[in-house]
Structure 1
Amino acid sequence: MALTSAGIGSGLDVASIVQNLMTTEQGPLTNVTQQKTSTQAKISAYGSLQSALSSFQTTLGNLSNISKFNALTVQSSDASTVNATATGSATAASHSLQVDQLAQSHKLALAPKTSLADIVGMGTLTIDFGSYDSTGNTFTAGNKAALTINITTGNNTLSGVRDAINAANAGVSASIVNDGTGYRLVLSSKDSGAGNSLRISASDADGTNTDNSGLSQLAYDPTALAGSGKNLSQVQEAKNALLSIDGISISKPSNVITDALEGVTLTLSKVSASPQTLTIGRDTSTVEANVASFVKAYNDLNQTLRNLTKYDEASKTGGALLGDSTARGLAFQLKSVLTQSVGSTGALTSLYQIGVTFQKDGTLALDSSKLKSGMESNFSEIAGLFAATGKATDSQISVAGNSSSTLAGNYAVNVTQLATRGSLAGSDAAGLTITAGVNDAIALNIDGVDYNLTLTAGSYASSSALAAELQNRISAAGSAASVNVNAGMLSVTSVNYGSSSSILLGSANGNANLFGNSAVSSAGLDVAGSINGVAATGKGQNLIGATGDANGLILKVDGGALGARGTVNFTLGYAYQLRQLADNYLRSDGLLTARTEGLSASVTRLTRQQETLQARLAVIEQRYRDQFTALDTLISSMQSTSSYLSQQISMLQSNS
C-alpha cells in the first residue's frame, strides 16, 4: 500500500523533524531580517532628525535677519491725526508734530449735462501737470509727461470722454457724478500735492479752442479768464501737506510721508488742533520674542536628538541612532557653536550676557530679567549675537553682504578709486525750439538699453523747461536716469554706478540740437581698493573681498576720500553660524542625505540577501521532506515485511 502522508506508515513525526531542522537553517535569514529592520529604523530616525533640523533651519533663517532685532515702535499721542511706523534705521526719540494742512489732489468738474449720452465735442485734449501760483497767476509744468487724448465720433459723449481719459491711464481719473441738477464729469489728479495741478487745453474740431462749447468746454487754464479757456470749475484745490516736526516746517505732496524722519513713515489723517507727540522707541517685546523663539527652536531639536540617541536603562533598549556618529557629531557641533563667543569688539560677545544659558539636562533656558537688562544697556548690539553683522568706523562705508566663506574678523579698508555713474554731457546749449519731424527724436542708450524718445514739439521757455520735457520722456520710457542743466547745456546721468553704467547717443534727428555736435559720454567706474591688505573686486559701489578670511565680504563705499578708510568689524552671530551648520547637514550632498542614501543601499542589499536565503531555505526544506518521506516509506515497508515474516514463522511452528 502506497503512503500519502509522511509518518503515517511508520509513525515517524516527519513534520516536526523538518520544522526543527529548518529552525536551525533559518539562522542566517533571521540575522539578515534583523539587520534590515534595524537599518529601516535608522532611515526613519534620520527622517525625523532631518525634519527637526529643517524646522530649526527655518527659525534660524528668520533670526539671521538683523532687522528682526532692530525693530522699533512708534506711538502717537493722537493716532486719529497721525499714525506712524518705523524701520531699524530710525532713531529712538520723541518728536513734537503739528499737522496744519492735509495734501489734496486737484479736482475739476464740467457743468451739468442732462444725459450720459450728451455729445461733448471732438478734437484733442492735452493734460499737463504742474504748479499754479495764484499770486503771480502762473502755471509751471512739472516732471510728468503731458497726456494727449483723441476724442472722435466713437467716444465724444459724456461717458465716452470719461472712458477715453481712464483708458489713457496716465495720472488722471475721470468719473461722472449726478448732483441732482444733471450729470457732471469730474477729473481728478491721481497724485495729491500742489505740484500735481491740472492744466487742460483743447484742440477743438469746431475751430475755437477756448470758448465754452464743444470739446473746449473741458479746457482749464488756471491763468485764463473763466469762460475763455478756464471753462471747468475747480471743486478741490491741489495742496501739499503742511506740517512741522520739532518746530521745523515741512511741505510734502502726499499724506503718506516717508522722508521727513529717517526710517519713519508718517500717515496724516486730519489737521491737529495742537501739537502731537510722536515717540519712537525700541521694540523690546519683539526682540524678547525672537530670543525666546531661538531658545525654543534649539530645545526642540535637542529633544529630538536625545530621543533618537538615548539608552533606557529600565527597558535595556536604545534609540534608533544610539551610538550613531552622525547624530553625535551634530549634537557636538551645535553645542560647540553655542558655547563659544562671537568675534565682536562690542560689549556683548556671549549668549549668557543676555540670559541664555545651558541647563544640566542640555537644554537652553532664558532669564527674561537678564535679557531686559541687556536690552536696556546694549540694545544695538543684540543683533550681532544672532545675525551676520558688520560695523565700519567710517560712516560712508557699510557692510552690504557676505558669503558662506566670509569669516568673522576686524578688516582694514583702503579705497584707491571711488565709483562713478555713467553720464552724457552736452557740448553746446540746447536749442529751445522743437519741430515735429525735424528735431524732435532723441536716441539714447542707457546702461545698455536703447531708448527712442520723441519730444513734444513747441518753443520752450528755457533750457530747464526742455530738460523737464526730456526727463518726462526718459521716465515714461522706464529709465531712472536724471537730466540736469548747466549753463544751458543738458546732461544725462545714469542712476547706477560702475563700469556697466553708461549713457550713449544713438542716431536721431534731435540729438545734435539737444546736446550739440561734440557731446561727451563718460562710462562709470567701479570702486577699487583692498580689504585687509588684499586687493578686492569692485562692482559699482561695492568692494568685494576676493580671497582669504574676507572672501565674499561686500562693503558699500558711498563716497569719501581715497586712502585708508578705517576698519570694519564683521561678526557671525549664533543664529547665522547654526544656520550654516544646518545647511551643511541638509543640503543635497550633505551628511544626512549621504547617510540616508547609504542606509537605503544597505536595505536594498539586505532585501536581495533575504530573497536569496528564502529561495535556498525552500529548496532545503523540500529536500528534508523528500528525504524523511523516503525514510518513512522504507521503515513502513520494513515493518510490513517484518510482520509477514513473523506470520510465516508462526505458521511453520504451528504445523511442525
Structure 2
Amino acid sequence: MATSSLSSISGVTTGIDTTALINAIVAQKATGMNRLQAKKDLNDKKTTALNAMRTALTTLSLSMATLQDKLNSRAVTSTDSNNTNVIATASGVASGNYDISVKTVATKGRLSATVDPVTGLTTNLAVANPGDSALSPIFTSGTSATFAVQGTDGVVKEITLDASSNTLNGLRDRINASGAGVVASVVNMGKGPNPYQLVLSAKDTGTGKTGGVVTLAALSGTVAPGLGIPAGSYGTPLADGTQTIIGGVTSATSGANAVDANFTVNGIALTRTTNIVKDAVDGMTFTLKQGGQTGTTTLTVGPDKAGATAAAQDFITKYNQLMKDYQAASTSTRNADGSINEAPLASDSTTRTMMANLKATLFGQTSGLPSGSAYKALPNIGISSQADGTVYLNVITFQTAVGNDLAAVQRLFSFAGDSTSPAVTFRAGGTKTVTGAVDFAVTRDPGTGALSGTLTRNGVTSDPILVVDGVLTGTGDFAGLSLAVTDAATGTITLSRGVGQAMKDIISSFTSVSSGGGLKAILDSIQAQNKSLGAQIQTAQTRLNQEKENLKKKFAQMESVVAQMRGSAGSLASV
C-alpha cells in the first residue's frame, strides 16, 4: 500500500515522473530570471573588459610618455672606444662635438701611516692589536685624551677617548661618530710588529677648504709613543670662518692631499672638485675617469635615434594590441545554433567613440603647428595606419626625420611653444590650453619693478596677469598655459598640441577616476545595474523555490490520493 507522506518517491503510484515535471514547470517560470542573470553575467564580462581596457590605455599613455622623453634624450659617441679617460651623457638641447682632455681627476685627501721605504713597515698611526688597550693603547696616562680631526670640508670635530675606547678601534669609532668630514678605518697591512694602521679619508673629492689637507691632532692627554700623533692647537680662523689647526699629523706628510679635477673642454681649461661634472656644458654630464691624458677624446652628441626608435616601436606594439583586444571585446559572434554570442563591449557607444577619437587624433594633423613646420602628422615621419587598422613604423623614415629636424618631430608628440622673444618662453600647456598664435605683452612697473603681462588670441585679451617667480600663468581662455618670463617684451608665441599629447589627454579624460571620466561613469552604471539585477534575481529565486516546494506538495498529495483510490478499488474487487 502506497504511503501518504508528502515526500513520496516520484511517480511510484501514478507512474508519472513528477520530479522531471516539476523541474520543467520551474524552468519555464525561470525564463525571466534567467534573462536577468544573463544580463548580469554580460555586465560582469563588460566590467572585466573595461578594466582590461583601462590598464591597456594607461600602459599606452606611459609608453607615449617614454617616447616623448626619448625624443628629448641625446646619445653620445666617443672616439675612445674603451672610455678610458671620460664618459658623458647628454639631455635637453645639448648637441655638437666636444674635445675633452683629462689632466687630473679629483681625489680624496687621505691621512695614513708613513711607510719606511727600506723596510716597508709602518712608522706611525699603527698598533699591534687594534682592539687591545693594554698592549696597544692610544694614550698612556690614566686620564682621557682629546683629539681634533679636520677633513677637506674645513669642519673641525673634537673627540675624547676614555678607558672604554683607548684602542685604535675606539679611535676609529669615535671619529666616525663625530660627524667629521672623514671616514676612519683600520687596515691590516699583514706584516711587521704594528700591522694595523689608521686611515682617514675625506668624504668628498677635491681640495675643499683646506687645500686638500686632512689633519689629526692631539689636544690633551699623553699619546702613546710610536703612534705619531703630535700635539696641536687652534689657530686664527680664516676669513670664511674655517677653523685652522696648528700641528698634528697631516695628509701632506703622512698620506696624500686631495687634488681637484683639471681638464679641458674644447681647449678651455676647467677645474672642479668632483669627477662628475654637470655644469661645464649645458645639458651634459661628464664623468672623469683617469688623468694623465696626452691627447683628446672627441664626444659627439646628437639625438638618441636608437632609443627613440625603440620607444616608438614599443608604443606601436601596445597600440596594436589595444586595437586587437578592443576588436575582440566589441565584436559579437554567432553560435553553432545560430544564436548571437554578444560581445561585452558590442553595444557600448562610449568606448566606441573614444577608440575612434583616439585613432583620428593619432593620425590627424597636429593642432596649432607653425606654418613652416617640416612635419604635420605622424605618417610624415614613418608612423602610419595600415588597411587592417594596425600601425606600422618605417624605421628609416623615422630616424631620418629625427636626424633632420628633431624639433619638428618633438612638436608632433608634445605640447610645444615657439616664441618670437627670448624673454618669454614656453614652459607648459594643459589639457584645455588653446593652440595657435598667442600675442603677449609683458611690462615692468616703474615703481616696484614687478612684471605683468596680457595674452591675446583672436582679438580676445586677458586681464593683466602678475608674473610670479618668473612665471606667467594663464587664466580663463588661456588656462593651463605657463610661460617663463625674464624681462619686459612683446611678441607672439605659437602653441601646438602634438598628437601624442592630445592622445594622452583623451586617455586621461576617459580613464581618470578623480575627474569622473567616461570609464568611471560606465563602471558606476554597471555596478548600479548589477545591484538592482542581483536584488531582482534573489527575489525571483526565492519565488521559484517557493513555487517548487508548492508543486512538490501538490504532486505528493496527488500520489497519496491515487494510492488510496487504488487501495479502495482493490478492496471492492475482492468482495
**What TM-score do the two structures reach when normalised by structure 2?**
0.77
Q: Is 1:97–1:245's contact at 8 Å kept on the other side of the alignment?
A: yes
Q: CA deviation at 1:646?
A: 8.6
Q: Distance in 2 between matches of 1:602 and 1:206?
A: 85
Q: Is 1:220–1:229's contact at 8 Å kept on the other side of the alignment?
A: no
The one-letter amino acid of 1:416's match is T
Q: Distance in 2 between matches of 1:643 and 1:206?
A: 129
The one-letter amino acid of 1:102's match is V
Q: Is 1:389–1:572's contact at 8 Å kept on the other side of the alignment?
A: yes
| 1:301 aligns to 2:310 (yes or no) | no
Q: Distance in 2 between matches of 1:202 and 1:385?
A: 65
Selected match of 1:408 from 430, 435, 444: 435
Deviates more, 1:616-625 or 1:336-345: 616-625
The one-letter amino acid of 2:109's match is H
Selected match of 1:576 from 494, 501, 505: 501
CA 1:269–1:16: 2 relative to 1, 3 Å:
closer
SS of the residue corresponding to residue 272 of structure 1 reads coil
Q: Distance in 1 between matches of 2:427 and 2:489?
A: 20
Residue 150 of structure 2 corresponds to which residue in structure 1?
A: 127
Residue 38 of structure 1 corresponds to which residue in structure 2?
A: 42
Matches within 5 A, 1:247-258: 247-258=267-278
Selected match of 1:260 from 272, 280, 285: 280
Selected match of 2:297 from 264, 276, 281: 276
SS of the residue corresponding to residue 438 of structure 2 reads strand
CA 1:537–1:341: 2 relative to 1, 3 Å:
farther
Q: CA deviation at 1:90?
A: 4.7
Deviates more, 1:271-280 or 1:74-83: 74-83
Selected match of 1:597 from 510, 524, 531: 524
CA 1:640–1:413: 2 relative to 1, 3 Å:
same
Q: Distance in 2 between matches of 1:156 and 1:15?
A: 96
Q: CA deviation at 1:314?
A: 8.0
Q: CA deviation at 1:98?
A: 1.9
Q: Distance in 1 between matches of 2:411 and 2:356?
A: 23
| 1:352 aligns to 2:379 (yes or no) | yes
Q: CA deviation at 1:50?
A: 2.7
| 1:165 aligns to 2:175 (yes or no) | yes
Q: Distance in 1 between matches of 2:157 and 2:503?
A: 59
Percent sequence identity over aligned pairs: 23
CA 1:412–1:85: 2 relative to 1, 3 Å:
farther
Matches within 5 A, 1:523-562: 527-532=451-456, 533-534=461-462, 535-548=464-477, 550-557=478-485, 559-560=486-487, 562=488
Q: Distance in 2 between matches of 1:640 and 1:172?
A: 112
Matches within 5 A, 1:146-185: 146-153=155-162, 158-176=168-186, 180=192, 182=194, 184-185=197-198
Q: Distance in 1 between matches of 2:221 and 2:18?
A: 120
CA 1:178–1:612: 2 relative to 1, 3 Å:
closer
SS of the residue corresponding to residue 405 of structure 2 reads helix
CA 1:169–1:401: 2 relative to 1, 3 Å:
farther
Q: Distance in 1 between matches of 2:160 and 2:546?
A: 96
Deviations 1:506-531 (A, max 9, x none): xxxxxxxxxxxxxxxxxx98753233
SS of the residue corresponding to residue 321 of structure 2 reads helix
The one-letter amino acid of 2:428's match is G
Matches within 5 A, 1:424-443: none
Q: Distance in 2 between matches of 1:2 and 1:400?
A: 94
Deviations 1:432-491 (A, max 9, x none): xxxxxxxxxxxxxxxxxxxxxxxxxxxxxxxxxxxxxxxxxxxxxxxxxxxxxxxxxxxx
The one-letter amino acid of 2:104's match is Q
Q: Is 1:67–1:88's contact at 8 Å kept on the other side of the alignment?
A: no
Residue 236 of structure 1 corresponds to which residue in structure 2?
A: 256
Q: Is 2:363–2:384's contact at 8 Å kept on the other side of the alignment?
A: no
Q: CA deviation at 1:371?
A: 0.9
CA 1:292–1:537: 2 relative to 1, 3 Å:
farther
The one-letter amino acid of 1:529's match is G
**What TM-score do the two structures reach when normalised by structure 1?**
0.69
Residue 225 of structure 1 corresponds to which residue in structure 2?
A: none
Q: Distance in 2 between matches of 1:275 and 1:145?
A: 35
CA 1:530–1:632: 2 relative to 1, 3 Å:
same
Residue 220 of structure 2 corresponds to which residue in structure 1?
A: 205
CA 1:379–1:626: 2 relative to 1, 3 Å:
same
Residue 131 of structure 2 corresponds to which residue in structure 1?
A: none
Q: Is 1:200–1:218's contact at 8 Å kept on the other side of the alignment?
A: no
Q: CA deviation at 1:538?
A: 3.4
Matches within 5 A, 1:366-405: 366-405=393-432
CA 1:618–1:373: 2 relative to 1, 3 Å:
same
Residue 130 of structure 2 corresponds to which residue in structure 1?
A: none
Q: CA deviation at 1:555?
A: 1.8
The two structures, once aligned, show a CA RMSD in angstroms of: 3.9
Q: CA deviation at 1:248?
A: 1.8
Residue 60 of structure 1 corresponds to which residue in structure 2?
A: 64
SS of the residue corresponding to residue 342 of structure 1 reads coil
Selected match of 1:73 from 72, 75, 79: 75
Q: CA deviation at 1:279?
A: 1.8
Residue 119 of structure 2 corresponds to which residue in structure 1?
A: none
SS of the residue corresponding to residue 539 of structure 1 reads coil
Residue 140 of structure 1 corresponds to which residue in structure 2?
A: none
Q: Distance in 1 between matches of 2:570 and 2:202?
A: 125
Q: CA deviation at 1:277?
A: 1.8
Q: Is 2:91–2:284's contact at 8 Å kept on the other side of the alignment?
A: no
The one-letter amino acid of 1:570's match is L
Unaligned 5+ segments in structure 1 are 130-143, 222-227, 419-523, 649-656
Q: Distance in 2 between matches of 1:356 and 1:622?
A: 67
Q: CA deviation at 1:124?
A: 5.3
Q: Distance in 2 between matches of 1:540 and 1:219?
A: 45
Selected match of 2:204 from 179, 191, 213: 191
Q: Is 2:150–2:181's contact at 8 Å kept on the other side of the alignment?
A: no
Residue 101 of structure 2 corresponds to which residue in structure 1?
A: 98
SS of the residue corresponding to residue 323 of structure 1 reads coil
Residue 245 of structure 1 corresponds to which residue in structure 2?
A: 265
Deviations 1:218-257 (A, max 9, x none): 9999xxxxxx947541532432222222222222222222
Q: Is 1:219–1:231's contact at 8 Å kept on the other side of the alignment?
A: no
Q: Is 2:106–2:260's contact at 8 Å kept on the other side of the alignment?
A: yes
The one-letter amino acid of 1:414's match is A
CA 1:331–1:218: 2 relative to 1, 3 Å:
same
Residue 216 of structure 1 corresponds to which residue in structure 2?
A: 231
Matches within 5 A, 1:612-651: 612-627=539-554
| 1:338 aligns to 2:362 (yes or no) | yes
Q: Is 1:122–1:205's contact at 8 Å kept on the other side of the alignment?
A: yes
Q: Is 1:98–1:276's contact at 8 Å kept on the other side of the alignment?
A: yes
SS of the residue corresponding to residue 38 of structure 2 reads helix
Q: Is 2:45–2:344's contact at 8 Å kept on the other side of the alignment?
A: yes
CA 1:620–1:76: 2 relative to 1, 3 Å:
closer
The one-letter amino acid of 1:546's match is T
Q: CA deviation at 1:621?
A: 4.0
CA 1:30–1:272: 2 relative to 1, 3 Å:
same
Q: Is 2:411–2:497's contact at 8 Å kept on the other side of the alignment?
A: yes
SS of the residue corresponding to residue 87 of structure 1 reads strand
Deviations 1:11-41 (A, max 9, x none): 6665565455444333323333333333333
Higher strand share: 1
Unaligned 5+ segments in structure 2 are 114-122, 128-135, 237-245
